[in-house]
Structure 1
């Protein structure tokens, strides 16, 4: 995610800023710490949850309570949510709204008209950008110490998940419902490399993101298929590719390990679970070899 421009969080005004953060006038008095913060993005939900004091969080997105989509599902039951409509957000009387370019345009426009303070973020595509984003949100919330503590936890998780020097790399792809996969230049790709895997999505013709046909996997399997898990209940057509019997027929050439879909898209504190999941997968494959 491209992080927003570096800005003093004490200079927020009631305008959405050019370059990612709300900007103020030079020399303005520091603003008080935001007390009613709303998130309009699932990845920002997680950062907000981890760096804010509980009383600062006015609402998360509805995705935060979805166990398939969020690492916060259980904790988020005790926190208000919105469906990202302008009416819901305004009713919460926020003094800061965290949002992304994927947030509903109508909501973004309404907040701008009402001059509600906002901060805009993009999606990080590297670990470094993810850590920078944690710090940026923490500064905006007046919580730099908490932000540094979260950054330290992420860095410790990355160190713990790294393979020993000189250890062989395992060829792998991350394979989600409908054959959706992550290619080179993505945050997922970097996490694979950091945890001892070689992402071979490119050999199936994949760019950064896209779908890989089941036939391609069967014809030329990687050593490890880091697969998503079908949704509970009756699986959708998109889910069924993950449980196709053809995958069982190449089990002697390709080991399947779990990589939940909720770990695919977000950086920030989610990287703690991502690193642990990938390290576990690698250990399981080496143990079975």
Structure 2
């Protein structure tokens, strides 16, 4: 390799994380993908489930990954430690990514994945699409902002210092998680929510038509008492887990949620 030349483009890439699955599907040549994570096929958690159904996948075990003879493995800080350690012992190249806490961090990861797999130009193109989607989802200057809380199973909510919090701010919501003392992620009990409700409750739902924890919350008798003060809007749960290309859909969904809440009198 000559000085300054780019590294060889990896030919067999394995992803061990659903968020990295989405990046790989958007950025890599199909022939470069040796396997995605098993989460990629789950439409409740993945935005690339349709594409993933025709691609190999693993259950994240070291044996499965090693058998694929990858020349690059993309992992997250939550990927199985035993698998990561086994791959390290065998000198399999592993790149580990943290959970992005901001849009800028997420865009940086898109660029890094694109560089690692040999398609930096695709990374820049995807970054431009994400930035355009976020810009399109912003309310007009001076538009009224709405207080809101993202509510996930068992009262799990996103607080300050999270990517979800920044996406809420960009799309015209003021996250009330701070009022409940949340730092990054935490739980907000139904009693506390009833005592100090936001204008909008954004409830994560797993998939269209699926009966979920969200349905039980949204039909809770106690919430009817404050229905005039708090609007409830559903969001696909899979849009709340990841950054990268997922932000394109997340931005549009949050903008639609805001428009719906305003239409309903929030």
Q: Same fold (TM over 0.5)?
A: yes
Which of 32, 50, 71 lines up with 2:8 in the alignment?
Answer: 32
The answer to whether structure 1 residue 104 and structure 2 residue 80 are counterparts is yes
CA contact (8 A) 1:229 1:258 kept: yes
d(CA) in 2 for partners of 1:230 and 1:259? Answer: 9
The answer to whether structure 1 residue 220 and structure 2 residue 192 are counterparts is no
d(CA) in 1 for partners of 2:154 and 2:215? Answer: 6
d(CA) in 2 for partners of 1:138 and 1:30? Answer: 13
The answer to whether structure 1 residue 63 and structure 2 residue 35 are counterparts is no
Equivalent residues in 2 for 1:103-182, closer than 5 Å: 103-182=79-158
d(CA) in 1 for partners of 2:206 and 2:244? Answer: 25
Q: Which ranges of structure 2 fall in alignment gaps of 5 or more residues?
A: none
TM-score, scaled to structure 2: 0.93
Q: Which ranges of structure 1 fall in alignment gaps of 5 or more residues?
A: 1-9, 11-25
- Secondary structure in 2 matching 1:58: strand
- Secondary structure in 2 matching 1:132: helix
Q: Which residue number corresponds to residue 53 of structure 1?
A: 29
Q: CA deviation at 1:28?
A: 8.4
**Per-residue deviation, residues 142-165 of structure 1 (Å, max 9, x unmatched):** 101111111111011001100000
d(CA) in 2 for partners of 1:221 and 1:73? Answer: 35
Alpha-carbon distance change, 84 to 223 in structure 1, aligned in 2, over 3 angstroms: same
Q: CA deviation at 1:249?
A: 3.1
CA contact (8 A) 1:230 1:240 kept: no
Q: Which residue number corresponds to residue 77 of structure 1?
A: 53
The answer to whether structure 1 residue 208 and structure 2 residue 184 are counterparts is yes
Q: Which residue number corresponds to residue 259 of structure 1?
A: 235
- Secondary structure in 2 matching 1:247: helix
Q: Which residue number corresponds to residue 65 of structure 2?
A: 89
Q: CA deviation at 1:282?
A: 0.8
Q: CA deviation at 1:239?
A: 6.9
d(CA) in 2 for partners of 1:98 and 1:85? Answer: 14
Q: Which residue number corresponds to residue 279 of structure 1?
A: 255
Q: Which residue number corresponds to residue 226 of structure 2?
A: 250
CA contact (8 A) 2:102 2:166 kept: yes
TM-score, scaled to structure 1: 0.86
Q: Name segments (4+ residues, structure 1) moved above 3 Å.
A: 26-31, 230-236, 238-243
d(CA) in 1 for partners of 2:219 and 2:42? Answer: 22
Alpha-carbon distance change, 248 to 55 in structure 1, aligned in 2, over 3 angstroms: farther
d(CA) in 2 for partners of 1:35 and 1:222? Answer: 49
